């Protein structure tokens, strides 16, 4: 256990030390967050806040790499983080340098995500001995044809990675919601490298949150949120707990579904079902909840989902 905690402790300290330097650098380079004009005034006031502080998560990646330089499992997780982070960086750099809230086109990002997901699945299926079954309980598995499994899993990874990315919309929100999810995988995994990776991610997120909780001194950006999304999605496949995703990822899926429902409802009725989406904005605009209240409640729901999934896993899987 001490060997697993050491990288996390070092990661936390280095994240806390390097984050202020990164914030100053981002300010000097004028890589700041543009704000969508339709957001309320309290969000407009955040214009000019440094973007891409999620880059500081690479501190944890370097620490993990130092401790597990030759581990194929750790190298796979790090590669997943880097590839999805690269997509996020392209989007963030476009937004910040051009002050365009739209960023890189959705089609471009999806092309990269599908390409990287297929590449990583090609490697990961052999590395982790992933079969085509969806585990429901210890004795019940749903076995799918190979091609059907690959199609569904590819769509699942890209979809959930984007759902997690949607959650990065308020000060501290994604970090607070992601920690319980990483904790779940830390508890259940039999791979030492997965445990260390999850602890390192929790540690670097905790260090990051010192500067990202309301009022945020800098924003995570897609550089961090897509990396979190990609790694959490692949962890679900590695640990074969896809059946638990509707509960474990409940916040992320609610964020994504709110956007999908809003678009579909508006096309049909020309009216909005929610005041604004993703849904975390809805609670602030309609009900007047503060950002801290929204983040706290969403984090509590995420911890509750983690607890429910741990109980199910211990009893039935």
Per-residue pLDDT of 49-60, as tens digits, reads 999 999 999 999
The domain tally of the chain equals 1
Q: Which domain holds residue 119?
A: 2-316
Residue 60 has a pLDDT of: 96
Say what angle helices 250-269 and 279-287 make with each other, to 10 degrees. Answer: 70
Among 75, 138, 103, 308, residue whose Cα is nearest residue 226:
103
Report d(CA 258, CA 270) in Å as an integer: 16
Residue 48 has a pLDDT of: 87
Residue labelled with tokens 């092309």: 111
Residue 17 has a pLDDT of: 98
- Whether the pLDDT of residue 4 is over 90: the answer is no
Per cent of the chain over pLDDT 70 is: 98
Q: What are the helix (H) ranges across 173-290?
A: 173-188, 192-212, 222-238, 245-248, 250-269, 279-287
Q: Tokens for 137?
A: 């309980």
Q: What is the pLDDT of residues 164-219, one digit of tens each?
A: 999 998 999 999 999 999 999 999 999 999 999 999 999 999 999 999 999 999 99
**This prediction's pTM:** 0.96
């Amino acid at each position: 256990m001490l060997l697993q905690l050491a990288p996390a402790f070092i990661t936390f300290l280095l994240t806390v030390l390097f984050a202020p330097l990164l914030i100053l650098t981002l300010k000097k380079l004028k890589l700041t967050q543009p704000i969508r004009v339709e957001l309320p005034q309290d969000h407009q006031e955040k214009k000019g806040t440094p973007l891409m502080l999620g880059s500081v998560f690479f501190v944890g990646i370097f620490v993990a790499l130092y401790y597990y330089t030759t581990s194929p499992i750790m190298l796979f997780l790090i590669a997943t983080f880097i590839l999805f982070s690269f997509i996020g960086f392209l989007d963030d750099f476009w937004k910040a340098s051009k002050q365009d809230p739209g960023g890189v086109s959705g089609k471009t990002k999806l092309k990269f995500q599908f390409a990287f997901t297929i590449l990583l699945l090609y490697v990961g299926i052999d590395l982790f001995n992933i079969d085509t079954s969806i585990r429901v309980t210890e004795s019940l598995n749903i076995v799918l044809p190979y091609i059907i499994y690959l199609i569904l899993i590819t769509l699942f990874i890209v979809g959930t990675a984007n759902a997690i990315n949607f959650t990065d919309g308020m000060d501290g929100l994604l970090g607070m919601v992601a920690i319980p999810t990483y904790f779940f995988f830390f508890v259940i995994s039999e791979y030492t490298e997965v445990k260390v990776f999850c602890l390192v991610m929790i540690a670097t997120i905790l260090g990051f949150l010192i500067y990202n909780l309301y009022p945020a001194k800098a924003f995570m950006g897609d550089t961090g949120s897509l990396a979190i999304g990609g790694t959490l999605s692949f962890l679900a496949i590695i640990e074969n707990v896809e059946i638990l995703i509707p509960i474990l990822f409940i916040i992320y899926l609610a964020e994504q579904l709110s956007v999908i429902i809003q678009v579909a409802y508006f096309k049909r009725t020309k009216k909005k079902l929610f005041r604004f989406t993703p849904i975390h904005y809805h609670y602030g605009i309609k009900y007047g909840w503060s950002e801290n209240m929204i983040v706290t409640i969403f984090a509590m729901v995420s911890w509750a989902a983690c607890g429910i999934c741990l109980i199910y896993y211990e009893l039935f899987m």
